[in-house]
Amino acid sequence: MNKKGVILGVIVVAIVVGIVASYSSAPSETVNLDMGRTHGTISTAMGSPILGDPSAPITIVEFGDYQCEQCYAWFHNTKPAIVQNYIDTGKVNLVFVDLAFLGRDSPKAAQASYCAEDQGMYWEYHNILYNSQESVDSGWANSERLKAFAFSLDLDMTLFESCLDSEKYSKRVQYNIQQARDNGVKGTPGFFIVGPNEQQKIGGAQPFSVFKTILDSMI
């Protein structure tokens, strides 16, 4: 009976120690993800925070890669007009979902954006990446540069480095890539404009006039 008691005790202690160890080794960053967040047919739960008014009736879901030059073109040529005319006016909001496929640095850059989100700086970091884009895998988005971008935003470097080095958001990025595949996205940038009753797909860095026509028809 005593022998059984000792074994049981050891098992209980082992379980308690295991639970305590797992909690203590978890990263100290906290993530507030709404796991049920969807826009149309797309699960955006693992995507970016919402840019603009979360209660806006229309959402633009952008699938992009930080190394994609067409995404860079859309970011600089089309997005500013959309932000000014639709997002800042509360008519539309935007969610960015990673389709990080172009090169070895693409997934790392996407993970880094979520490490910045941990410190409330997702969109600032996102903008820095698209403003700093160079050739694919030329080193502009390697770990050192990603950390340098974080430093330039005055992020807590201990938290950021532990997040990036531990690949904390690797599965989040993979989930987003799978969402793109599940929704038939075959290149970047790819867009879904999700309105109250319909959703419209747009492929490529199309001009503002195309977005305007679709958005105006949904408002």
Partner 1 sequence: MIQTIKLVYSNPKYFLLASGIFVLMTIGLLILSEYIFLEPYVVAHLPSGSELGFILIVTLSALSALVIPMNIFRIKTLKSSKQKMGGGILGSIIGNAAGVCSCGPIGFAVISTFGSVGATATAFLTNYEIPIRIIAIVILAVTYFTTVKSLKVECNLNS
Q: Burial, 57: exposed, middle or buried (Cβ in 10 Å; 0-12, 13-18, 19+)?
A: middle
Least distance to partner 1, CB of residue 141, Å: 12
Residue 135 interacts with partner 1 (CB under 8 A)?
A: yes
Rg (C-alpha) for the chain, rounded Å, is 21
Closest CA to 79 of 57, 96, 98: 96
Identity of the residue, 52 or 103, whose beta carbon is nearer to partner 1 in the bound complex: 103
Q: Looking at 70, 85, 132, 170, which residue binds partner 1 (CB under 8 A)?
A: 70
Residue 183 interacts with partner 1 (CB under 8 A)?
A: no
Token couple for 178: 């799978």
Site for partner 1 in 98-117 (CB under 8 A): 101-104
Least distance to partner 1, CB of residue 207, Å: 5
**Residue span binding partner 1 (CB under 8 A) among the ranges 26-34, 51-59, 89-97, 194-202:** 194-202
Identity of the residue, 150 or 205, whose beta carbon is nearer to partner 1 in the bound complex: 205
Distance CA 174, CA 128 (A): 22
**Residue span binding partner 1 (CB under 8 A) among the ranges 38-46, 114-122, 155-163, 180-188:** 180-188
For the sheet with 58-64, list strands across it.
Answer: 92-98, 58-64, 190-194, 199-203
Distance CA 209, CA 215 (A): 10
The residue ranges that bind partner 1 (CB under 8 A) are 65, 68-71, 73, 77, 101-104, 135-138, 186-189, 200-207, 209-210, 213-214
